[in-house]
Structures are given as structure tokens and as C-alpha cells.
């Protein structure tokens, strides 16, 4: 049986965001156990020109939500980036998971050839649905999830490969 666009998207997004949520749980527990102001971790970066951890989480969630919507041919929801706490970042992930559940296989399967156009950083991009998923959404989702993992790990949070991959 061939892999469907739905199987390659929503379940992968769900797992990645679930794992990201657990990584954030460990970050919050680390800050609490060591009496560290959580904003130190939430605003941490690995390099001066890198986005802070909170923004990494926001972008990962946006990739899953906007990716699902575009593949389904639905209106792309815009979510304000206002989260400043672990609890708010967790709420964003939870809301994203609920929203992407609405995009069932019946809406996403067959989107391989759907034309998807977007503007990123002032540059216009055009993809087929399959190229959009495999060459834009998934790499961005995993890049920003990995950046979150690495920022927390760099700051001492005890994380390992299985935290990223999940059980």
C-alpha cells in the first residue's frame, strides 16, 4: 500500500509536537528544580543571531498547523506569537494539535499535486503539495523542534535522543 499524504503529514506532526511538549515539560521541571527563572530558558539562544527558544516552538507549531491547512486546501490560520511561559507554549502546542486533528485523510489525501504558493521572508515560493510537505514543512518542523531541544540541552536540561524521537 502506498504512503498517503495524510499518513506522511498529520500523524508525523502530531508525534513531533507531542515529543516537543514532553521536552518542554523537562525544561520547566529543570527550571523549577534549580530555582531558575523560566524566562532564562524561554529566551535562550545558541547564537546571537538565532531566534530564542519560544520562537522555535512557535514556528514548529505553525509548520504543523499551516502545513495541514495548506495540504487540505483550507484557510491558513494565523496565530499571534505571544507566549512567554512554558505553560503558554504548552497551550499553543495543545491548541495546534486540536486544530490539525480536524484535517482528516479525506481532506489531505490527494494533495500531492495541489499547488501551494506562499511568501516567506519577502520571497515567493511555489510548490506541489508533495514538495511542500517533504521539502518545506517537514524540514522546518524538525529544524525548529531540534533547535528547541538543543537550546534546552545546552542549558543543562537532561535530554537524550529518545526525548526527541519519543517512545
Position 1 scores a pLDDT of 57
> What digits encode the pLDDT tens for the residues 49-65?
999 999 999 999 999 99
Half-sphere exposure in the Cβ direction for 132 (13 Å, CA): 28
> Alpha helix locations (H) across the chain?
10-33, 38-42, 53-72, 86-101, 105-108, 129-132, 138-154, 161-165
Task: Supply the pTM of this predicted model.
Answer: 0.96
> What digits encode the pLDDT tens for the residues 127-136?
999 999 999 9
Name all domains of the chain by residue range, CATH numbers in brackets.
10-165 (1.20.120.450)
> What digits encode the pLDDT tens for the residues 35-47?
999 999 999 999 9
Q: Which of 94, 79, 73 is nearest to 25 (CA)?
A: 94
Amino acid at each position: 500500500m502506498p504512503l498517503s499524504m495524510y499518513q506522511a503529514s498529520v500523524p508525523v506532526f502530531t508525534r513531533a509536537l507531542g515529543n516537543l511538549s514532553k521536552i518542554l515539560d523537562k525544561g520547566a521541571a529543570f527550571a523549577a528544580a534549580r530555582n531558575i527563572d523560566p524566562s532564562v530558558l524561554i529566551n535562550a539562544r545558541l547564537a546571537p543571531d538565532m531566534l530564542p527558544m519560544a520562537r522555535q516552538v512557535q514556528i514548529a507549531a505553525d509548520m504543523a498547523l499551516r502545513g495541514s491547512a495548506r495540504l487540505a486546501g483550507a484557510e491558513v490560520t494565523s496565530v499571534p506569537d505571544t507566549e512567554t511561559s512554558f505553560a503558554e507554549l504548552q497551550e499553543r502546542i495543545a491548541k495546534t494539535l486540536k486544530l490539525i486533528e480536524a484535517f482528516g485523510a479525506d481532506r489531505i489525501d490527494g494533495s500531492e499535486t495541489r499547488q501551494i504558493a506562499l511568501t516567506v521572508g519577502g520571497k515567493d515560493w511555489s510548490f506541489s503539495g508533495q514538495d511542500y510537505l517533504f521539502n518545506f514543512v517537514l524540514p522546518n518542523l524538525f529544524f525548529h523542534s531540534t533547535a528547541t531541544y538543543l537550546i534546552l540541552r545546552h542549558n543543562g536540561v537532561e535530554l537524550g535522543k529518545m526525548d526527541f524521537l519519543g517512545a
